[in-house]
């Protein structure tokens, strides 16, 4: 967890036994995103607005950064939370080192912060299953 004076972040780092190219596909292709994250109209194009939807509600976002097979960042806005989700991919001896950070949780957003800590663990386990099935 990292912090600045006003907000805190959820940070998860994971080694995936898969090549960067496969992990990148799962992070950026709409059909694959739906398998591990949520239904979406996502496109990896800077400035593109999108929506993730689930049975509990929706998340609105805008793509901020796209560095193919290296970095992806977008805004994540839901239920009063305005945050930024960043993915950093680095080739490693095991396959891919993935770093995920969701930054921007205010002190009064502890429920959202705790939910993100739990949710990203669950999402990343599902991501790993999706990547395992890619040919």
DSSP calls for 41-97: -----TT-EEEEEETTEEEEEEEEEEETTTEEEEEEEETTEEEEEEEEEEEETTEEE
Q: Which parts of the chain have pLDDT scores under 70?
A: 1-5
| Topology of domain 7-132, CATH | Alpha-D-Glucose-1,6-Bisphosphate; Chain A, domain 4 (3.30.530)
pLDDT of 110 reads 95
The domain segmentation of the chain, as residue ranges, is 7-132
pLDDT at 5: 63
pLDDT in the model for residue 3: 46
* DSSP one-letter code for 107: T
pLDDT at position 130 is 98
């Amino acid at each position: 967890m990292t912090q600045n004076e006003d907000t805190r972040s959820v940070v998860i780092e994971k080694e995936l036994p898969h090549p960067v190219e496969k992990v990148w596909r799962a992070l950026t292709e709409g059909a694959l995103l739906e398998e591990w994250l949520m239904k979406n109209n996502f496109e990896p194009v800077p400035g593109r607005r999108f929506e993730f939807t689930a049975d509990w509600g929706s998340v609105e976002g805008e793509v901020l950064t796209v560095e193919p097979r290296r970095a992806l960042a977008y805004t994540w806005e839901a239920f009063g939370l305005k945050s930024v989700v960043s993915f950093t991919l680095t080739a490693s001896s095991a396959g891919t080192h993935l770093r995920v950070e969701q930054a921007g949780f205010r002190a009064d957003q502890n429920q959202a912060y705790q939910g993100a800590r739990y949710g990203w663990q669950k999402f990343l386990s599902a991501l790993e299953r999706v990547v395992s099935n890619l040919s």
